[in-house]
Amino acid sequence: MRASSLASKRTYRGSRPIPGIHIYMAEHKKIRLQVALSRSGITSRRKAASIIEEGRVLVNGSVIRERSHPVDLESDKIVVDGKSIDAKEKIYILLNKPRGYITSRCDPEGRKTVFDLIPSRFKNLHPVGRLDRDTTGLLILTNDGELTYRLTHPKFEIRKKYWIRCKGMIQDKEKTRLERGMVIDGKKTARAKVTLLKNNTDSSELYIEIHEGRKRQIRYMFLYLGRPVKRIERVAYESLTLGSLKKGEFRYLTNSEVRRLKEL
């Protein structure tokens, strides 16, 4: 079996040696300059547009202010603020985030971050969306800015599935409110899909699927109902699931998994 295939099937803890990096090779073709900056990992797609329009980008020695200008990351020399960018190998990691870690590269308060769980060579990756400190489960880390944008922007309606344990019994009308949406901070939440697993007097367990990613949204939704959340775990990102991955472990996404995410 090839090394890349082995790497995609193994899981690792932060202190364990890394046998190889599983990468997804992009096709060799012309793309828009704005997309090229995003895919290089130096900035988001939205910020790339501003950088280009401000005249901070050179392509083969010429200032380009048109975001749709066609470029080839493999052959064109692209310079941003005096620094050349290169076509980087794209890395995609799936981490099963434990409780007690924040989704950030570093923390001024000295709290543990998800980057403490992976080798230092991957400090250039960024998380796709966020999970709060007490939320566990599926977290993607990558240096692919374009994919991050598509997976996190609400207009693409990417489904995320969470397992919830909350206080008390969920009534039919409360389930309907969750599914139809409710107003939080002056804005109504999008429709959700709710599947009850256990519904008891002291606590209930359920799955909820949403495509939004507002800060602490699920916790606020259940507080609105008077059902404080006891535990939250993200168990799926569209078709991507944790499988047998244990808390604190990570693995590399396979080419087919990355391809399916890109096709969304």
Known catalytic residue at 107:
no
**Residue 145 pLDDT:** 82
Q: How far, in Å, CA of 35 to CA of 48, rounded?
A: 8
What are the structural domains of the chain? 24-85 (3.10.290.10), 89-154+240-263 (3.30.70.580), 159-237 (3.30.70.1560)
User: What value does the CA radius of gyration of the chain take, rounded to a whole number of Å?
Assistant: 21
- Give whole-number Cα distances, 138 to 10, 32, 79, 199, 224, in Å: 16, 31, 35, 25, 25
User: Is beta strand 136-142 parallel, antiparallel or unpaired with respect to 31-32?
Assistant: unpaired
What would the two tokens of residue 99 be?
């409780």
Structure tokens at 138: 């599926």
Quickly count helices (H) and strands (E) in the chain. 7, 18
**How far, in Å, CA of 250 to CA of 139, rounded?**
9
Backbone φ, ψ for residue 245 (5° rounding): -65, 125
pLDDT at 59: 94
pLDDT reading at 190 higher than 60: yes
- Segment 108-136 shows an average pLDDT of 92
d(CA 79, CA 74): 13
Strand partners for 31 = 71
Output the CA angle 79-83-84, nearest 5 degrees: 55
Q: Does the pTM exceed 0.75?
A: no
4: part of which helix (H) or strand (E)?
helix 3-9
Of 72, 76, 81, 132, the catalytic one is 132
pLDDT, one tens digit per residue, over 138-185 is 999 998 888 888 898 878 889 999 999 999 999 999 999 999 999 988
pLDDT in tens, 31-82: 899 988 876 767 777 888 999 999 999 999 999 999 999 998 778 899 999 8
